[in-house]
Amino acid sequence: MEYQTPRYIEIPGNINDSGSVHFWENPLLFPKGILRCFWISGVKSGESRGNHAHWEESQVIVAVSGRLEISVDGVEGSKAVFTLEGPGSGLFVPPLNWVSIRFSSDAVLLGLADRAFSEKDFIRDKDYFGSLQEGN
């Protein structure tokens, strides 16, 4: 598997006076479709969630409401910070990227994944992830 960096993606939608609807139709990112979705809410402002990487899973992260500040460390040593505010864009996070997410008080995170949940796919030890970085 070739390493990929995270990147913003646009999420199509229709917005008018009666509201907005956004939808996912992206077989290029997830050829097998969405195999898992999850949402996180009620996180205290400034608290951090995520704090892990995946061996194989790719995700798209969306701020359905509020603001998410997402810090990403790539296995090849890159560091980036992404900000999401609103459902019209998302962050595509390929495998082997360590993600830490800070929430505004009203934030709701929607996660879309290309794999079913597997604890074996998680890298939860930041020091171990750092040793993978040193190997590149």
Tens place of pLDDT per residue across the chain (136 aa): 688 999 999 998 888 899 889 888 888 889 999 999 999 999 998 889 999 999 999 999 999 999 999 999 999 999 999 999 989 999 999 999 999 999 999 999 999 999 999 999 999 999 999 998 765 6
Query: Residue for token digits 């020091």?
Result: 127
Q: What pLDDT does residue 69 have?
A: 97
Q: What pLDDT does residue 114 have?
A: 96
Q: What pLDDT does residue 136 have?
A: 60
d(CA 27, CA 74): 24
Q: 96: helix, coil or strand?
A: coil
pTM, entire model = 0.91
Query: Residue for token digits 């993978």?
Result: 132
Q: What pLDDT does residue 1 have?
A: 67
Q: What pLDDT does residue 32 have?
A: 92
Q: What pLDDT does residue 41 have?
A: 95
